[in-house]
Structure 1
Amino acid sequence: MAYLPIFVEAQRCPCLVVGGGRVALRKVQALLEAGAAVTVISPEARPEISSLARSGKLRLLAREYLRGDLRGFALVFVATNDPRVQHAVSREAGECGIPVNVVDVPELSSFISPSTLRRGALTVAVSTAGASPAMARRIRERIGRLFGSEYALALEVHRAARRHLRAVEADPGRRALRMARLAASSLPARLRRGDIEGANRLLLRHIGAGLEGLGFAPAALAACEPASEVDR
Structure 2
Amino acid sequence: MAYCHAGCSFEAILESLELGRERFTPSPRPIETGPSKEQLEAQRKAMRLWTGAKPADPAHPYLVKKQIKPHHLRQFKEILLVPMQNESGDLWNCQLIYWDGSKIFLRGGRTKGLFTTLGEIPESGGRIFVAEGFATAATIHELTGSPVVVAFSAHNLPPVSMIIRRAFPQAEIVLAADDDPAGVQFSEQAARAVHGLVAYSGRRA
- Settle same-fold status: TM greater than 0.5: no
More helix by share: 1
More strand by share: 2
Considering Cα pairs closer than 8 Å and 6+ residues apart, tell me whether 1 or 2 has the greater RCO.
2
| Rg (Cα) greater in structure | 1
TM-score (norm 1): 0.26
